[in-house]
Structure 1
């Protein structure tokens, strides 16, 4: 089958009550600045030790930087500290620049300042820690390992989990190299719990769950109050499919630490999969404990919506309308509730007020559908044209929303024309090319359909979706069955468990006369997806094999999925089959 939808907050401060006096003539050691790393709970206080006088221009810059920090103008403060670190070569100034770089997540400045710091003091554990963190954030986790290892045995707490998380974004080869390197580190430091946590996290990411679980439980045995380790344990249990065990572990931890926000939040999120009412209970506790947290307020609203408590959901969502960072989410979900209550005008009004964020495209889609149903397709199209002008950065997605509407209305010429216009603005856009090929296929224009899909493949030869679409379309529109089978076979190797590709392969096998192979692949596809198109194909193969009761059952399941399925209707007419009335 073809897919038919394209698509430390802690105030930084110098620990100098008399900053103006001290900065006039002082140089500090790193430990005396009071600008502690992000992990410190409170800054140290007290005057710094005077070592040597600073030049007058340095005094001025550092004084300005001090006031900038007090006013939370951290970028200005960092700029001045970086300048004076270079100009004075003072270890205290360099260390402060490094700490400030870490606080504002300026990796380039952190790497520059820690390199300077380590040149002057190679065994500075804090410098190694900041450098390792900056390297990890710069997607250089393998380089970061040696610096985080240098922290082991010092008063500075190490954090190998940050490095493991960074490695996840690397190529498979780089991930393997990181795993080997961090395992080697663990052999050298077998009792270091932070390192063991980092290894466990690496193994979890790389789907080596049993070993990850063993390691993280060793950490928890040594440090039962390590909540980070417990959260890793529960994630590993989820990956192993041991959901109830993960829930039990989180329940026990929440009972022990009832005000631990992250623990209860993880429990609530996990319960949404298995017991929505218990999830609501946990989100309610979280909301009462953290009434200022709008993300929790939103989550509780969505849980209430899920269980049908629309009034409670609406009350929470209306509270969010006054908060700019959640206003778009609130309008979108109020619109969804209005739809469920069949208050079409209210729903459209809410969707119109979504002006950005993650729900913008979803809101525009629902608005277009409702406008089409309530006021007609021309009004919906006019709204979408206006939306493209209002949201130019989202114009591709908006073109695709409109093309979906036209596809549903079987206006294939209009859809083709619309997407041809979109391609003039975005000539190589894969989603637009794919969408236009759908309209060409429905008009049985094989040449244009093939042209668009082959353009996708020229840019991305391993695009399994395009390979499958081209192969399937050739199979239903032409007699080029062997070529079609070759294309779909390649797609199947790339995504062997994709039911759409399995369906295509099975249907081509049917066209080639191999009913047993066809039934095998189509049954596998249907076991994963009750899509009406798969049902049409599998039903026909079963009918040809003489298994007519099974065929009828499959068609009925497909119609349950989509009662207006034209492909099942056409199949039944061609085979002259009348389905029994549903009970």
Structure 2
């Protein structure tokens, strides 16, 4: 379960219409959808009302319909308004109201809705449009009156109605005003928990967590044990960073509602967020024991086992789920991840290839490619990437970047550079493409392209620490640009003071400037965070320069055992160590 999405609801047709612009064809179709002009079926409350249409009105409606189809909305509106005044048929007033809202004509909307409600006072759509119109123009009393009727008429549906209104009002910047309207509505209806609950949601939207907590507590005072309010109260605590409070609330709710697993599931997620994996596993284990058919909780329990390095227990659960068609793909994916962790590439690939449906298909395929690259099965990896490009057009960028990386690993830098350049022709300011091409440009000594691409990124994203670091580090190749390099690296260091690669770059700058002790400090901090080959080579060289040759050899020997073919280590060995041997 994701943390509560505040207003993830569909808007009713009339709300969609008013939010659109007249240029959108889909909205036009909604406005001009023909009204069947004949005598409507009799309603109980209208059984005595005559609805026959005289020729003048019939002509007026036909003209209005034709105008609507041609996009002449002002003419269509006048036609339907006049017809609504002459014929006691709420459909014509409804049509006029929708066109007026589409045109964002508040006065005409109010006039049409007023007529609509007069002809059909119980129509909830008319009442919602009236409430929305009042909220939009800031007519508090009218908004309260309309919402009060909606609440009394359909208290169970009021929450949905209010959410639909909020979805539109958010775009108009009327959230705070709506909160005030609900305040007045609560005075008239102090026993309606839903009003306080809606205020709690709005308070969260206004980023006032304390007010949200106060209002959800009011809702629970009126309606104790309301599951939705209890869950939202816990979610407020999570968003506020008070995980302990969230855990207490959910544990209490679980005790009060032992048969309702949603409290336990949310509790388990909060425990995971608090990194209390053992406790989360116990909660999921309890859910599974009481409901063995809850496959979702079985998956969650297996993932907790993986987090705790209990691959065998996770594997047992995933293999049991292979018998359930709706969970086969997900189980196969994680079985592949288990084999990947074990270093069993062939078995991992077999599992990933079994994922053929669902949201994990692409992730399985791309993970399989990564495994092939790791095993230097470059031809197979490239072939698979080619197939993926056709199957997943929305993932084109990720596939292009992976393919460029694949060529880079084979030292086919020109090929990677051309691939990225061709792709940039269609999206010249795409950040990841620019950054990837800058890296390839360095490899083929196109330093002007490297600098231009990184600077282009920084124009759009001046605080991009990765680009700042790459540009600053690349400038260290030119002794005349150390001052410029320092500017970029200091900026990157300020943004990410604990990032290993940035510490490495800044330490290497100190070495270039002849400040060996300062260089050693930064490089040792970098190496402590990330024992990467290039950092090891830099640190070894600084230690060598400080006369600490044994320490330098130890750093080098440890690193070369892990990466015997690393170019930075081999270059250091050839340039520095070979002269001592």
Q: TM-score scaled to structure 2, two decimals?
A: 0.62
Q: Is the 8 A contact 1:332 1:351 kept in 2?
A: yes
1:250 CA drift (Å): 0.5
User: 1:251 — aligned with what?
Assistant: 251
Matches within 5 A, 1:384-533: 384-408=385-409, 411-424=412-425, 426-457=427-458, 460-462=460-462, 464=464, 467-479=467-479, 480-487=481-488, 499=499, 503=503, 506-507=506-507, 510=510, 530=530, 532=532
Matches within 5 A, 1:209-288: 209-273=209-273, 274-283=275-284
Q: Decide which structure has the larger Cα Rg and report it.
A: 2
Query: SS where residue 363 of structure 1 aligns?
Result: helix
User: 2:19 — aligned with what?
Assistant: none
Change (3 A) 1:213 1:25: closer
Change (3 A) 1:352 1:296: same
In 1, the alpha carbon distance for the partners of 2:520 and 2:114 equals 67
Change (3 A) 1:128 1:217: farther
Change (3 A) 1:209 1:485: farther
Change (3 A) 1:345 1:202: same
In 1, the alpha carbon distance for the partners of 2:277 and 2:574 equals 46
- Structure with higher helix content: 2
1:367 CA drift (Å): 1.0
Bigger shift: residues 400-409 or 447-456: 400-409
Q: Among 299, 307, 316, which residue is 1:312 paired with? A: 316
1:348 CA drift (Å): 1.6
1:219 CA drift (Å): 3.7
1:434 CA drift (Å): 1.7
Q: Is the 8 A contact 1:231 1:263 kept in 2?
A: yes
In 2, the alpha carbon distance for the partners of 1:286 and 1:259 equals 10
Bigger shift: residues 373-382 or 47-56: 47-56
User: 2:47 — aligned with what?
Assistant: 50
User: 1:60 — aligned with what?
Assistant: none
Report the aligned-residue RMSD: 5.7
In 1, the alpha carbon distance for the partners of 2:292 and 2:47 equals 47
- Where structure 1 has 5 or more consecutive residues not aligned to the other structure, the ranges are 1-7, 10-22, 29-46, 57-83, 102-106, 136-140, 578-583
In 2, the alpha carbon distance for the partners of 1:505 and 1:229 equals 51
1:120 corresponds to 2:116 = yes
User: 1:32 — aligned with what?
Assistant: none
Q: Is the 8 A contact 2:497 2:503 kept in 1?
A: no
Query: Could you give the per-residue CA deviations for residues 417-447 of structure 1, whole angstroms, max 9, x where no partner exists?
Result: 4333433565443322221212223445321
Higher relative contact order (CA 8 A, sep 6+): 1
Q: Is the 8 A contact 2:473 2:505 kept in 1?
A: no
In 1, the alpha carbon distance for the partners of 2:525 and 2:234 equals 32
Q: Among 26, 38, 59, which residue is 2:41 paired with? A: 26
1:329 corresponds to 2:333 = no
In 2, the alpha carbon distance for the partners of 1:215 and 1:520 equals 53
Matches within 5 A, 1:560-571: none
1:565 CA drift (Å): 11
1:281 CA drift (Å): 4.6
In 2, the alpha carbon distance for the partners of 1:538 and 1:198 equals 59
Query: SS where residue 121 of structure 1 aligns?
Result: helix
Q: Is the 8 A contact 2:420 2:433 kept in 1?
A: yes
